[in-house]
Amino acid sequence: MNAMTKVDYYPLLVCGATFTGIGAAAAAGGKAIVVERSTSVGKEYIEAIHHGERLDQQLKTAFVANFADDLRNRNLLEGHGPLHLPGVHPVLCNTIQKLGLNVLFGTIILEVTPHQQGGYEVVLHNIGGHRTIRVDEILDTTSLRRSTPEDLYKPVRKWLNAYVHPSRSSGDIPVPYTESFTLRKGRFPSEFILSLELEPNCDWASARKAYNELWVNRPPEWHDWTIAAIADQFVYEIPKGLQQLGFRWSWLPSLGLLNPLAAIDEGVHWQMSKEENDYEQITVR
């Protein structure tokens, strides 16, 4: 077989450079390949401007405890409060680089078929063209179940978030002026997340238009508030927990976890707790 037709082999394919995906790949070490359709990491939380809830929960792995300590040292997290999400992105990138994780950005899964020798044959596509790999196991951590391109998950609820902040002269925090809006505190005193629930089939143009129209027509008590950034990822209501798509083919959506730390923790725990796990355990500073 020549170099043009060679099929590379990996024990584990992780679909999505999500928090859960990075956790699983970190635990698997050099024996995993991560496929990410975008050029970003952790976008299901970071670019969705979604810090989740219950950051006080007990973490399962030392990996994530160390990761959380790193965030606190960088002032991105205080105690068990919400994360300052924009600052988490470079920390995730640094983790990928330090661990030497194999991540293919700008890459999509076109097809997954059972392989005659066991496992799966996966056809990938990116700017370099088509590429076929063989894997023993697939872990899909994406919100829309990207490892099944012909049968993507269709969420029944979704939201568009934005960072907003008051002027220095603001007093009491106003109550959201429509039931569709929810206001949550961010990491810093002037940091808030204003979330708008949308119709499930709402596209990006319609979502941004709806958000902007509500914002332009906000009542007087909101006039001195400013939008700092609008998310470029939706927040979805996603099934929670592990679901089997086939033999050694699992869907564990990162967004289905409570928060980014819980998501990366679950990815590490999933990999390290498998009975057939022969990957070395990891410690990270």
Position 221 pLDDT exceeds 70: yes
Q: Are strands 129-140 and 8-15 parallel, antiparallel or unpaired?
A: parallel
DSSP letter, residue 220: G
Q: Which two tokens stand for residue 17?
A: 């450079």
Q: In the prediction, which pLDDT does 3 show?
A: 47
What is the average per-residue pLDDT within 261-278?
82
Number of neighbours of residue 84 by Cβ within 10 angstroms: 18
Per-residue model confidence as pLDDT tens digits over 110-158: 999 999 888 999 999 999 999 999 999 999 999 999 999 999 999 999 9
Per-residue model confidence as pLDDT tens digits over 24-54: 999 998 899 999 999 999 999 999 999 998 7
What lies within 8 Å, CB to CB, of 285 at 6+ separation is 66, 70
147 and 245 Cβ atoms separated by less than 8 Å:
yes
Q: In the prediction, which pLDDT does 58 show?
A: 81
Q: Which domains does the chain have, with CATH numbers?
A: 8-152+239-272 (3.50.50.60), 158-236 (3.30.70)
Position 90 pLDDT exceeds 70: yes
pTM tops 0.85, yes or no? yes
Give the span between the Cα atoms of 159 and 178, in whole angstroms.
14
CA triplet 4, 10, 13: central angle to 5 degrees?
Answer: 110
Q: Directed axis angle between helix 62-73 and helix 19-28, to 10°?
A: 120
| Confidence grade of residue 167 (pLDDT, cut at 50, 70, 90) | confident
Give the span between the Cα atoms of 284 and 65, in whole angstroms.
10
Instruction: Show contacts of 127-135: CB within 8 Å, 24+ apart.
Output: 131/8, 132/7, 133/7, 133/8, 133/9, 133/10, 133/13, 133/33, 134/7, 134/8, 134/9, 134/10, 135/9, 135/10, 135/11, 135/12, 135/13, 135/33
